[in-house]
Amino acid sequence: VRGPVKKDPLRPIDLGHVPPAPRSRAAMAMAVRAGQGRFMLQACVRCEAVTYPPRDCCPACWGALAWRDQPQGGRVVAQTDVRVSADIYFRGQMPWRIGTVVLDAGPVAVAHLAEGVVVGDPVRVVQRLDRAGQAAMIALPAEGTYDMSEDRQLRQFTAEPLHRRVLVTDGPDDALHWSGD
């Protein structure tokens, strides 16, 4: 198993910072859908224009918006390596690759880039929850399956336990069989 290199025991431990969390009500609605593993964007019920980032009404005609499943294809038109960040979470993750993706669904989105994805590449865009529980756009190679747990950057969006500390509890037996209220 490739996995990340084991932590240098002399290095200070990760303090568990999370990315910036405050969002609008509309963006929280996207996080709910991203958490369900879906790729949904708002579309206007009147003019059908698809919009991103999440808004309260259609920027083309002011019509009402509804969440719709969308095609996940796209193409990277710009990329950058963020090398310095004022944010305490990203400061510990530099450099961080992001890019601008023209979505087949219509809008243009800033997305986290998978290793090796560069300008001009066709991509498959997924929405995942970041460590703050907010929806994030991630551009993966268009073809094949991509293991985000083996990507230095995108591993942050997974719960892969390899090389991570886990908390083992001796919770009551019924907690293990909890099936929801």
Which residues are at the interface with other proteins (CB under 8 A)? 20, 23-24, 27, 52-55, 80-84, 134
Q: Are 37 and 129 in contact (CB under 8 A)?
A: no
Given the complex with other proteins, which of 23 and 68 has the nearer CB atom?
23
Q: Residue 93 carries which side chain, given as an amino acid letter? A: Q
Nearer CB in complex with other proteins: 32/162? 32
> Measured from the CB of residue 49, what is the shortest distance to other proteins in angstroms?
14
Of 57 and 142, the one with the shorter C-beta distance to other proteins is: 57
Nearer to other proteins, 84 or 175 (CB): 84
How would you classify the pairing of strands 40-44 and 65-69? antiparallel
Q: CA angle 27-29-31, nearest 5°?
A: 75
The pairing of beta strand 135-141 with beta strand 108-113: parallel
The nearest distance, CB 28 to other proteins, in angstroms, is 10
Euclidean distance between CA atoms 49 and 43, whole angstroms: 6
CA–CA gap between residue 10 and residue 30 (Å, rounded)? 40
CB of 63 to other proteins, least distance (A): 18
Helices (H), 43-120: 88-91
Q: How far is the CB of 80 from other proteins (least distance, A)?
A: 5
Q: Residue 63 in contact with residue 44, Cβ under 8 Å?
A: yes
Nearest CB to other proteins, comparing residues 48 and 81 = 81
CB atoms within 10 A of CB 102: 16
Least CB distance to other proteins at residue 52 (A):
8
